[in-house]
């Protein structure tokens, strides 16, 4: 009995003090800056139904989470069209074009995002977006969210040797920003993304915007939050802040 209450206590009061002084913050895009997964689901449902996939029965959210969410298009194409990869890749291109049409009207930032980006800017931290999304999608979403000037770099999975869940995109992010993994934090919302950040040697804060908590926990995030207004996140950032200020004071 004691064990379960202890574990819930540690879960409710996480700490990332070992990162102080914080140098950089890396963000995924889909589901992390904005709740775009429902828009991806609509686009997939519409186009898959058109071609009679699954005998014309629309795919549901469970299928989307298990087979699509967080994955690179090459992986999605192979999963949906195992016998015809070129058809799968062409289908994914059409789906992305439909997604870009819909996203312009429906895109909204994750709650608390503006507060967090302001906090990051005020402290002069470096920041990059690291995504498996096609470049055109990533740039559209970042621009629509008003974050074009916020990010100093956008790392795209297809421009790396391997996309997420491999660590390559996050390692490239560290390299481009010229920061160390020991002082960098990652925000992610998918199993694939969390695995990539963890494999790159960084603590990852997972967002429960589109995937079940128990699924995300399997990828070993530092802890989970609902959104950027979550009190758990701000207690961690305030603790980091106070230690960072103390370290700066001691170094002078």
d(CA 16, CA 10): 12
Q: What was the pLDDT predicted at 250?
A: 52
Residue 168 to residues 123, 236, 246: CA-CA distances in angstroms? 27, 27, 33
d(CA 227, CA 214): 17
* Structural contact between residues 25 and 188, judged by C-beta atoms closer than 8 angstroms: no
Residue ranges of the chain with per-residue pLDDT less than 70:
1-12, 245-252
Residues forming the active site: 28, 30
pLDDT digits (tens, 9 = 90+) for 112-126: 999 999 999 999 999
d(CA 77, CA 57): 19
Token match 């802890």: residue?
A: 223
Q: What was the pLDDT predicted at 252?
A: 44
3-state secondary structure the chain: CHHHHHHHHHHHCCCCHHHCCCCEEEECCECCCECCHHHHHHHHHHHHHHCCHHHHCCCCHHHHHHHCCCCCHHHHHHHHCCCCHHHHHHHHHHHHHHHHHHHHHHCCECCCHHHHHHHHHHCCCEEEEEECCCHHHHHHHHHHCCCCCCCCEEEEHHHCCCCCCCCHHHHHHHHHHCCCHHHEEEEECCHHHHHHHHHCCCCEEEECCCCCHHHHHCCCCCEEECCCCCHHHHHHHHHHHHHHHHHHHHHC
Q: What was the pLDDT predicted at 3?
A: 43
Instruction: Give the distance between the most distant pair of CA atoms in the chain.
Output: 68
| Residue partners of 133: CB distance under 8 A and separation at least 6 | 29, 30, 141, 156, 157
Q: What was the pLDDT predicted at 13?
A: 82
Instruction: Give pTM, 2 decimals.
Output: 0.89
Q: Report CA dihedral (194, 148, 146, 20) to the nearest 10 degrees.
A: 50
Q: What was the pLDDT predicted at 243?
A: 82
Nearest to 244 by CA among 89, 24, 11: 24
Q: What was the pLDDT predicted at 220?
A: 98
């Amino acid at each position: 009995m004691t064990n379960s209450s202890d574990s819930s206590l540690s879960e409710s009061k996480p700490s990332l003090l070992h990162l102080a002084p914080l140098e950089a913050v890396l963000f995924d895009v889909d589901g992390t800056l904005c709740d775009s997964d429902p828009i991806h689901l609509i686009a997939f449902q519409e186009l898959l139904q058109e071609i009679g996939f699954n005998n014309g029965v629309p795919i549901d959210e469970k299928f989307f989470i298990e087979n699509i969410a967080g994955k690179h298009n090459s992986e999605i194409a192979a999963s949906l069209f195992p016998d015809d990869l070129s058809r799968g890749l062409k289908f994914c291109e059409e789906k992305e074009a439909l997604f870009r049409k819909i996203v312009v009207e429906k895109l909204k930032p994750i709650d608390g995002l503006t507060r967090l980006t302001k906090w990051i800017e005020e402290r002069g931290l470096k920041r990059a977006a690291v995504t498996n999304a096609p470049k055109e999608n990533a740039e559209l979403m970042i621009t629509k969210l008003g974050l074009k000037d916020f990010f100093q770099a956008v790392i795209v999975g297809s421009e790396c040797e391997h996309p997420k869940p491999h660590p390559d995109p996050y390692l490239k992010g560290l390299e481009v920003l010229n920061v160390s993994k020991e002082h960098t934090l990652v925000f992610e919302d998918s199993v694939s993304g969390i695995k990539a950040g963890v494999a790159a040697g960084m603590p990852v804060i997972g967002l429960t915007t589109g995937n079940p908590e128990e699924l995300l926990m399997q990828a070993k995030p530092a802890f989970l939050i609902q959104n950027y207004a979550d009190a758990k996140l701000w207690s961690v950032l305030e603790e980091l802040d106070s230690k960072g200020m103390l370290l700066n004071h001691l170094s002078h």
